């Protein structure tokens, strides 16, 4: 691998850029550069600052401090259009094209070849065919774009964005909706871009892809660059530890969470059994079982399918296949109501958009899911609601002026407790907790963790999803690791250490126990061995 | 929530003042306009006057009740005026079977129209404003095809419904009062009512909480349609004629105005029935005052516009988080 | 940040779509399946031109100017050989428009003339395209009931080029007579206002308070009926005071609610001048509701619909000034004369009759 210096000056660079949002320092003096003809991986977990950096590079945001350099000179882009005209092309996960117009029109929109002032269709179609064949797309370019597969559309978007004069191409999770075959084509195209001396910024969570096509990598964490260097020289385990902010060397020490450790009153009969959950592009046959009193952790990087797994179990994600049963009784209808009736509660990861009803009171928010149980003939029993609300406000120590206070006025931690109360009011058998301690203060975090312990001790089955490795290690009795929507490893008992977890996430051979979870879970998908 | 005013500096901040005005401004408005009329309008403090105002506001109020529920879910129903026209035409078409059958058919027509809206919104996922716009245009068109010109109503029972009284209170007002009570009960005491507010507040959260979101939405639109049909029946009875061409024209705007002026935000998640009643009364008194003082009709429209702008200004941006 | 994807609705789409269609069908079925309205109260319907209903020209009011085909351009024709196009402005949902269209159709049938019609449903731009469509369908003579007086240039350019004669009825088109159009046939709305004033003065003996129920604001019918009324009251009856002018939008409901407000705050009102019959009938309903009896308040209205004339017999309405919508005979007569080369007056004002207690019972059959 050629070192960066020999490639000549950077085509696009950020020098010490800082960007603030109210209450957050999204980027803190970040240096970043793309060289001509390199594929540069940009990685980081949620909130690391990747999307902010991309928006700065493409002229959507302007830096509060520091500046950009383009083609060796300092620049300030007045807006995304200017950056685009200057030669910085961006491909997003969602394709921004016009589905009803023809493929060729989409490709040439705004710069159609003209003849006598009119669109020269013959030439446009010919050029479109030629351009697309270079991307492995062989279609009738006169047909509307919507008839194309997602992958082919992505290629059209790519062809359009790259055009003839792009110097830098930024790709944000370009493979998330592509079939494996289409991914191969994309990689070939990236190869030709590299040969043409174009700089590529490649954002993805799929480690295999990164190692396969990227020359260099920059790791962001909490708004700072924590590593820049050649991709091949960075071990997977090291990459994971950089992203997650856990040092490989000192993960062995005692944690600071309030989990008490083991809750092993493990009976043989699982309280929850999910088998072969599959949803296109998201889940590829996830199976898991949770016994009463057991806390099962779900680990993996962002986009690995953790949230989707929880949603699938809770009936909130349409599935192509899969079965869920509670205490051996299958949940027949795939709806949230059916899952709730079966005793499954899910605390969502996105508290604001999927959890609280902001304008309603604490009382209404707690009672929401349990309303059918707290009513008779459709009439709400205020007495029973009051009792439930009082019990849980006390037990969870929810700090509010009173039950009538609007939930949007509470702190994040108290909002989270309100949502926990909403689920506990249902007296569930299984509780799915998706990032239960994210974005809440330390005190509330400790209380939530202690509560998880207590609930498990009371015999509840708990699925704990967390990006915080420490929380997983100390909170869970057993941890399943997901990757690309499939279970790739399971750790239990003494094997559950941060180091082992990171190793499984990184896809490296696990020394202690590498067995697969449950029946029907497929083996690691192809492409693993390509290095 | 009660704000503890602490000692030395009782500074009420701007946001609190705005919020207070949003919630209670409508009552202040009603009080002001009533006082004005007591002083300046001849014969204002008479039983007859209250009767006139109450009878005139009743149809708008009934429509506004349904509208308040729809708006609480974060939707809107533009078709209420057309549903009134459908209801009026159903009366004309079926009066031959007697008033009871005719009224029932009118109500079923309202429910069916509401069901069309509800299915489009809840199941087909079409935006409420678009889905109900279709029926707003098509519904009145259908009503006009059915009853192309105004038809006088001679049925004594139906005419009595529009002009008769019980205990010196017109039937029309009794019916409006009963419907208010029913809607208040629905909103306060039933799972349905709690659910519709939650759907407006955060639909995804309501879905994840296992609420029957789509069924609730469907029912809300059906209810709104039935209430509009009731208003159509009452208007027809009062007019002693079925006039699909003009009944309920622009009533959707009056109803939306009453709801918004009453402090229910257009974004949903909240419903204020008392405020809606006050909102409808405020707009009615505004029009009555301007008519009684013989001010040009354009003034009426401008005054209404001013009140709406004020209400929207107060309601704006309440979801700052 | 956001790795939660959007979710499709899990249940199949076909069921709700089916339900929607079913609900929509219910609506239509309900309304039509086995409808049975009230029995008619008696008396025939208003269609058909009898002697007493036909429009009569007011020779004095018509101007001197005439138009012949050689001045206008175009070629002579025999009316029975050509296609006539009729463009109606508003939906046929009020008696005036219904009768107007019926009259044109009946006359065409009587004369054996081929007629093509259109209705712009109160949408002016639609009326322009309507007329253009009529021309492209081969109409060689046009009868137009214009929604607006202005804005006809696109049509006039075309008709002038092709020499197609235009006869406008009930409202005028602004333009040069015998160049842009052949003739205007209609009522004099200001005169209707003046005659309504005469009737009001007669009812009040020149003394009292009168309220005006205006039509739709900004409409020239409203403006002229108001101007004529005020002009005559001012000139002839200084003892009559116009205390109130509010719009009832030409609808019965509007007339009713405005009158309710009015009698409540001013119970001593002596007369109401309603600018159309519908508002007048609404006023009757309101007065009845307020405990007034027939004749307590003198009501004078304009139009001449059967409903209003019947209220004269009941004693509620004092007088109705007619605005005759039966344009068929005069319009076709003018078209025929013009085609055969005769001179046609460019401003044909019809004499409108009036109904009051003296003739209502005898002539109610003429009302439409």
Average pLDDT estimate for C171-199: 87
C266, C238 contact by CB (below 8 A) = no
**Residue A309: left if φ>0, alpha if ψ -120 to 50, beta else—which one?**
alpha
Q: Which positions in chain C have a beta carbon within 8 angstroms of at least one beta carbon in chain A?
A: 1, 3-5, 7-10
Is the CB of B49 inside 8 Å of chain C's CB atoms?
A: yes
Please report whether residue A127 resides in a domain. Answer: yes
- Which chains neighbour A (Cβ–Cβ under 8 Å, 3 or more pairs)? B, C
- The distance of C3 to chain A (nearest Cα, Å) reads 6
Q: Which two tokens stand for residue A69?
A: 């350099």
Is the CB of B204 inside 8 Å of chain A's CB atoms?
A: yes
- The distance of A364 to chain B (nearest Cα, Å) reads 8
Paired residues of A406 in beta bridges: A361
Boundary of a domain, candidates A396, A427, A458: A427
CB contact under 8 A, B109 and C92: no
Chain C residues with beta carbon closer than 8 angstroms to that of A302: 3
Do both A219 and A120 map to the same domain? yes
pLDDT score recorded for residue B273: 94
Band of the pLDDT at C32, cuts 50, 70, 90? low
Band of the pLDDT at C46, cuts 50, 70, 90? very low
Of A177-191, A394-408, B110-124, the poorest mean pLDDT is in A177-191
| Residue B320 predicted with pLDDT over 50 | no
Is the CB of B103 inside 8 Å of chain C's CB atoms?
A: no
pLDDT score recorded for residue A495: 83
- The distance of A279 to chain C (nearest Cα, Å) reads 11
CB contact under 8 A, A357 and B201: yes
pLDDT score recorded for residue A168: 92
Spacing of C-alpha C113 from chain mean position: 24
CB contact under 8 A, C7 and A317: yes
Residue A210's contacts (CB-CB under 8 Å, 6 or more residues apart) are A41, A43, A202, A204, A217, A231
Do both A224 and A300 map to the same domain? no
CB contact under 8 A, C253 and B246: yes
Chain A residues with beta carbon closer than 8 angstroms to that of C12: none
Chain A residues with beta carbon closer than 8 angstroms to that of C13: none
Q: Write out pLDDT tens, residues A1-55.
A: 444 444 568 899 999 999 987 767 889 999 999 999 999 999 887 668 888 898 8
Span between the terminal Cα atoms of chain C, in Å:
71
| Residue B167 predicted with pLDDT over 90 | no
CA separation (Å) from A239 to A217, A218, A221, A246?
Answer: 10, 10, 12, 10
Paired residues of A172 in beta bridges: A203
Paired residues of C273 in beta bridges: C212, C300
Do both A112 and A59 map to the same domain? yes
Average pLDDT estimate for C333-351: 85
Q: Write out pLDDT tens, residues B9-20.
A: 445 567 777 778
C344, C338 contact by CB (below 8 A) = yes
Burial of A6 by CB count in 10 Å (0-12 exposed, 13-18 middle, 19+ buried)? exposed
Provide the H-helix boundaries in A171-213: 180-195, 207-213
In terms of residue numbers, what domain contains A374? 352-427
Band of the pLDDT at C16, cuts 50, 70, 90? low
Q: Write out pLDDT tens, residues B273-308.
A: 999 999 999 999 988 998 888 888 778 778 888 888
A488, A522 contact by CB (below 8 A) = no
- Across the beta sheet with C319-322, the strand order is C240-247, C208-214, C271-274, C298-303, C319-322, C354-356
Q: Could you please state the CATH topology (level 3) that the domain comprising B16-315 is classified under.
A: ABC transporter involved in vitamin B12 uptake, BtuC (1.10.3470)
| Residue C11 predicted with pLDDT over 70 | no
The total number of structural domains in chain A stands at 3
Do both A326 and A365 map to the same domain? no
| Residue C8 predicted with pLDDT over 60 | no
CA separation (Å) from A416 to A398, A412, B212, C55, C199?
Answer: 9, 6, 23, 81, 78
Residue located via tokens 């704000």? B3
Q: Which two tokens stand for residue A249?
A: 């060397």
Asked whether the whole model's pTM tops 0.80, one would answer: no
pLDDT score recorded for residue A132: 84
Max distance between CA atoms of chain B, in angstroms, equals 74
Q: Look at residues C165, C157, C158 and name the one whose alpha carbon lies nearest to residue C82.
A: C165
Mapped onto helix, strand or coil, the DSSP state of residue A205 is: coil
Residues in chain C: 368
Do both A144 and A61 map to the same domain? yes
Q: Are strands A118-119 and A168-172 parallel, antiparallel or unpaired?
A: unpaired
| Residue A133 predicted with pLDDT over 70 | yes
Is the CB of B168 inside 8 Å of chain C's CB atoms?
A: no
B122, B217 contact by CB (below 8 A) = yes
pLDDT score recorded for residue B187: 92
pLDDT score recorded for residue A109: 78
CB contact under 8 A, B243 and C16: no
Give A524's DSSP letter. Answer: P
C322, B80 contact by CB (below 8 A) = no
Average pLDDT estimate for B23-36: 89
| Residue A248 predicted with pLDDT over 90 | no
B80, B72 contact by CB (below 8 A) = no
CB contact under 8 A, B144 and C93: yes
More confident residue, A512 or A269: A269
Q: Which of residues 228 through 287 in chain B touch A, CB cutoff 8 A?
A: 265, 269-270
Q: Are strands C240-247 and A39-43 parallel, antiparallel or unpaired?
A: unpaired
pLDDT score recorded for residue A531: 33
Do both A370 and A225 map to the same domain? no
| Residue A249 predicted with pLDDT over 60 | no
Chain C residues with beta carbon closer than 8 angstroms to that of A282: 5
pLDDT score recorded for residue A473: 86
Do both A398 and A434 map to the same domain? no
Chain A residues with beta carbon closer than 8 angstroms to that of C3: 46, 302-303, 307
Q: Write out pLDDT tens, residues A281-295.
A: 788 989 999 998 889
Q: How far apart are CA C115 and CA C85, in angstroms?
A: 6
pLDDT score recorded for residue C21: 74
Q: How far apart are CA A13 and CA A168, in angstroms?
A: 11
More confident residue, A388 or C348: A388
Which of B191, B192, B205 lies at the smallest CB-CB distance from A356? B205
B249, B81 contact by CB (below 8 A) = yes
Residue B56 sits at the vertex; the CA angle it makes with B51 and B59, to the nearest 5 degrees, is 125
Domain boundaries, chain B: 16-315
Is the CB of A349 inside 8 Å of chain C's CB atoms?
A: yes
Q: Write out pLDDT tens, residues A57-83.
A: 988 888 888 889 898 889 888 888 888
- The distance of B200 to chain A (nearest Cα, Å) reads 9
CB contact under 8 A, A357 and B206: yes
Do both A379 and A420 map to the same domain? yes
Q: How far apart are CA B20 and CA A493, in angstroms?
A: 57
Paired residues of A467 in beta bridges: none
B177, B281 contact by CB (below 8 A) = no
pLDDT score recorded for residue B223: 96
Which of A47, A316, A318 lies at the smallest CB-CB distance from C1? A47
Cβ contacts from B onto C, under 8 A = 154
Do both A212 and A108 map to the same domain? yes
Q: How far apart are CA A247 and CA A112, in angstroms?
A: 54
Write the secondary structure of A139-169 as one string of H (helix), E (strand) and C (coil): CCCCCEHHHCCHHHHHHHHHHHHHCCCCCEE
CB contact under 8 A, B119 and C23: yes
Boundary of a domain, candidates A219, A234, A249: A234
pLDDT score recorded for residue A517: 38
Of A309-323, A434-448, C8-22, C69-83, the poorest mean pLDDT is in C8-22
- The distance of A243 to chain C (nearest Cα, Å) reads 15
Chain B residues with beta carbon closer than 8 angstroms to that of A375: 190-191
pLDDT score recorded for residue B100: 92
Which CATH number goes with the domain that contains A458?
A: 3.40.50.300
Do both A440 and A388 map to the same domain? no
pLDDT score recorded for residue C17: 67
Detail the DSSP E strand segments found in chain C. 56-57, 66-67, 83-88, 114-119, 141-144, 166-169, 183-186, 208-214, 240-247, 271-274, 298-303, 319-322, 344-345, 347-351, 354-356
- The distance of A172 to chain C (nearest Cα, Å) reads 12
Chain B residues with beta carbon closer than 8 angstroms to that of A353: 202, 204-205
Q: How far apart are CA A101 and CA A119, in angstroms?
A: 14
Cβ contacts from A onto C, under 8 A = 21
Q: Write out pLDDT tens, residues B86-135.
A: 999 999 989 888 899 999 999 999 999 999 999 999 988 888 999 999 99
Average pLDDT, chain C: 82
CA separation (Å) from B281 to A458, B33, B111, B198?
Answer: 56, 10, 26, 28
Is the CB of A55 inside 8 Å of chain C's CB atoms?
A: no
pLDDT score recorded for residue A509: 54
- The distance of B109 to chain A (nearest Cα, Å) reads 26
Q: Which of B151, B292, B298 to mutate to test the interface with C (most CBs of C within 10 A)?
A: B292
What sign for the dihedral angle of Cα A235, A236, A242, A246? negative
Which string of DSSP letters, residue by residue, matches C250-291? Answer: TSHHHHHHHHHHHHHH-TT--EEEESSHHHHHHHHHHHHHTT
What domains appear along chain C, each with residue ranges and CATH number? 51-187+325-351 (3.40.50.2300), 189-323 (3.40.50.2300)
A471, A498 contact by CB (below 8 A) = no
**Residue A66: left if φ>0, alpha if ψ -120 to 50, beta else—which one?**
left
What values do phi and psi take at C264, rounded to 5? Answer: -70, -45
Do both A318 and A460 map to the same domain? yes
CB contact under 8 A, B189 and A354: no
Q: Which of residues 280 through 319 in chain B touch C, CB cutoff 8 A?
A: 288, 291-292, 294, 297-298
Band of the pLDDT at B82, cuts 50, 70, 90? very high
- Which chains neighbour B (Cβ–Cβ under 8 Å, 3 or more pairs)? A, C
Q: Which two tokens stand for residue A235?
A: 């071990």
% residues pLDDT > 90 (chain A)? 24
pLDDT score recorded for residue A268: 61
**Chain A residue whose CA is closest to B318:** A359
Which of A336, A401, A404 lies at the smallest CB-CB distance from B210? A336
Average pLDDT, chain B: 87
Average pLDDT, chain A: 82
Do both A405 and A519 map to the same domain? no
Detail the DSSP E strand segments found in A204-352. 216-221, 224-230, 272-279, 283-290, 295-299, 321-326, 329-330, 344-347
CB contact under 8 A, C261 and B292: yes
- The distance of C15 to chain A (nearest Cα, Å) reads 16
Average pLDDT estimate for A224-244: 87
CB contact under 8 A, A303 and C3: yes
- The distance of C23 to chain B (nearest Cα, Å) reads 6
């Amino acid at each position: 691998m050629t070192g960066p210096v020999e490639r000549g000056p950077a085509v696009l660079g950020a020098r010490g850029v800082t960007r603030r949002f109210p209450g957050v320092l999204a980027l803190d003096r970040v240096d970043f550069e793309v060289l001509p003809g390199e594929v540069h991986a940009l990685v980081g977990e949620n909130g690391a600052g990747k999307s902010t950096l991309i928006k700065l590079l493409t002229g959507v945001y302007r830096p509060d401090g520091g500046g950009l350099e383009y083609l060796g000179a300092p620049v300030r882009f007045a807006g995304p259009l200017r950056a685009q005209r200057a030669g910085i092309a961006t491909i997003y996960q969602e394709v921004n094209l016009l589905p009803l117009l023809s493929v060729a029109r989409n490709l040439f929109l705004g710069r159609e070849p003209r003849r006598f002032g009119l669109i020269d269709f013959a030439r446009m179609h010919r050029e479109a065919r030629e351009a697309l064949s270079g991307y492995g797309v062989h279609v009738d370019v006169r047909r509307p774009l919507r008839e194309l597969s997602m992958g082919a559309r992505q290629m059209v978007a790519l062809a359009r964005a790259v055009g003839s004069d792009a110097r830098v191409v930024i790709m944000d999770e370009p493979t998330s909706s592509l079939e494996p075959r289409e991914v191969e084509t994309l990689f070939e195209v990236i190869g030709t871009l590299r040969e043409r001396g174009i700089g590529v910024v490649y954002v993805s969570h799929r480690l295999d892809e990164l190692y396969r096509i990227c020359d260099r990598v920059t790791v962001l964490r909490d708004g700072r660059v924590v590593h820049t260097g050649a991709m091949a020289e960075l071990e997977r385990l090291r990459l994971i530890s950089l992203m997650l902010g856990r040092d490989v060397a000192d993960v062995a020490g005692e944690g600071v969470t309030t989990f008490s450790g083991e809750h092993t009153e493990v009976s043989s009969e699982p309280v929850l059994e999910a088998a072969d959950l599959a949803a296109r592009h998201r889940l590829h046959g996830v199976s898991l079982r949770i016994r009463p009193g057991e806390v099962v952790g779900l680990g993996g990087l962002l986009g690995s399918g953790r949230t989707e797994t929880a949603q699938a179990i809770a009936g909130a994600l349409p599935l192509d296949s899969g079965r869920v049963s509670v205490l051996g009784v299958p949940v027949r209808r795939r709806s949230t109501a059916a899952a709730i009736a079966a005793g499954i509660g899910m605390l969502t990861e996105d508290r604001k958009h999927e959890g609280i009803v902001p304008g309603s009171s604490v009382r209404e928010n707690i009672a929401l899911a349990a309303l059918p149980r707290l009513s008779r003939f459709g009439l709400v029993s205020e007495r029973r609601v009051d009792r439930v609300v009082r019990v849980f406000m006390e037990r969870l120590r929810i700090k509010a002026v009173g039950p009538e206070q609007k939930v949007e006025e509470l702190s994040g931690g108290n909002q989270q407790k309100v949502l926990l109360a909403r689920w506990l009011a249902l007296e569930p058998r299984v509780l799915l907790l998706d990032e239960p301690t994210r974005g809440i203060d330390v005190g509330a975090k400790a209380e939530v963790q202690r509560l998880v312990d207590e609930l498990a001790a009371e015999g509840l089955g708990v699925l704990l999803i967390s990006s915080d490795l420490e929380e997983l290690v100390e909170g869970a009795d057993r941890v399943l690791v997901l990757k690309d929507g499939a279970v790739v490893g399971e750790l239990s008992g003494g094997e559950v250490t941060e180091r082992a977890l990171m190793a499984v996430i990184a896809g490296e051979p696990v020394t202690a126990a590498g067995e697969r979870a449950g029946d029907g879970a497929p083996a690691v998908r192809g492409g693993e061995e390509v290095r | 929530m009660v704000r503890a005013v602490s000692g030395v500096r009782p500074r009420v901040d701007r946001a609190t003042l705005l919020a207070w005005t949003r919630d209670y401004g409508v009552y202040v408005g009603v009080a002001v306009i009533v006082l004005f009329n007591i002083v300046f309008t001849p014969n204002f403090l008479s039983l007859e006057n209250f009767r006139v105002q109450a009878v005139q506001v009743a149809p708008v109020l009934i429509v506004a009740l349904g509208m308040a529920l729809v708006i609480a879910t974060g939707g809107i129903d533009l078709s209420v005026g057309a549903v009134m026209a459908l209801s009026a035409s159903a009366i004309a078409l079926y009066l031959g079977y007697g008033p009871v059958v005719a009224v029932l058919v009118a109500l079923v027509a309202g429910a069916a129209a509401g069901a069309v809206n509800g299915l489009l919104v809840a199941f087909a996922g079409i935006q409420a404003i678009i889905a109900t716009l279709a029926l707003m245009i098509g519904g009145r068109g259908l009503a006009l095809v059915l009853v192309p010109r105004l038809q006088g109503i001679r049925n004594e029972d139906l005419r009595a419904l529009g002009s008769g009284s019980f205990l010196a209170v017109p039937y029309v007002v009794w019916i409006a009062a009963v419907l208010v009570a029913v809607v208040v009960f629905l909103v306060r005491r039933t799972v349905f009512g709690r659910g519709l507010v939650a759907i407006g507040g955060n639909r995804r959260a309501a879905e994840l909480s296992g609420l029957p979101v789509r069924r609730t939405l469907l029912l809300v639109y059906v209810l709104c349609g039935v209430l509009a049909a009731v208003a159509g029946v009452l208007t027809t009875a009062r007019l002693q004629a079925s006039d699909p061409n003009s009944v309920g024209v622009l009533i959707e705007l009056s109803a939306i105005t009453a709801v918004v002026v009453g402090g229910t935000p257009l974004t949903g998640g909240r419903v204020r029935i008392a405020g809606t009643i006050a909102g409808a009364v405020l707009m009615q008194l505004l029009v009555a005052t301007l008519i009684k003082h013989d001010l040009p009709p354009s003034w009426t429209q401008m005054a209404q516009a001013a009140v709406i702008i004020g209400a929207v200004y107060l309601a704006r941006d309440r979801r700052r988080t | 940040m956001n790795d939660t994807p959007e979710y499709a609705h899990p249940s199949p789409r076909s069921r709700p779509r089916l339900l929607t269609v079913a609900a929509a069908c219910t609506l239509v079925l309900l309304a039509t399946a086995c409808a049975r309205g009230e029995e008619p109260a008696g008396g025939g319907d208003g269609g058909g031109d009898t002697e007493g209903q036909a429009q009569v020209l007011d020779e004095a009011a018509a101007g001197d100017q005439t138009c012949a085909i050689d001045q206008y351009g175009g070629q002579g024709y025999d009316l029975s050989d050509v296609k006539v196009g009729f463009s109606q402005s508003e939906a046929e949902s009020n008696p005036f428009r219904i009768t107007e269209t019926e009259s044109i159709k009946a006359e065409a049938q009587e004369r054996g003339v081929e007629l093509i019609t259109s209705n712009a449903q109160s949408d002016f731009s639609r009326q322009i395209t309507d007329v253009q469509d009529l021309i492209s369908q081969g109409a060689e003579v046009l009868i137009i009931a214009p929604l607006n007086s202005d804005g006809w240039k696109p049509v006039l350019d075309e008709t002038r080029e092709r020499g197609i004669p235009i006869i406008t009825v009930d409202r005028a088109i602004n333009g040069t007579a015998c160049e842009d159009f052949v003739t205007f046939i209609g009522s004099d709305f200001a005169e209707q206002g003046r005659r309504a004033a005469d009737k009001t003065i007669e009812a009040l003996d020149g003394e009292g308070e009168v309220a005006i129920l205006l039509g739709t604001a900004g409409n020239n019918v409203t403006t002229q009926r108001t101007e004529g009324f005020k002009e005559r009251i001012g000139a002839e009856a200084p003892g009559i005071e116009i205390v109130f002018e509010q719009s009832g939008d030409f609808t019965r409901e509007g007339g009713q609610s405005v009158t309710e407000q009015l009698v409540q705050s001013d119970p001593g009102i002596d007369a109401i001048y309603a600018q159309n019959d519908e508002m007048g009938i609404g006023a009757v309903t309101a007065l009845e509701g307020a405990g007034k009896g027939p004749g307590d308040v003198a009501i004078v209205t304009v139009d001449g619909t059967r409903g209003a004339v019947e209220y004269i017999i009941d004693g509620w309405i004092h007088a109705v000034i007619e605005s005759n919508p039966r344009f068929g005979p005069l319009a076709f007569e003018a078209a025929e004369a013009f085609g055969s080369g005769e001179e046609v007056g460019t401003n044909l004002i019809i004499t409108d009759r009036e109904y009051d207690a003296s003739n209502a019972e005898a002539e109610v059959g003429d009302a439409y």
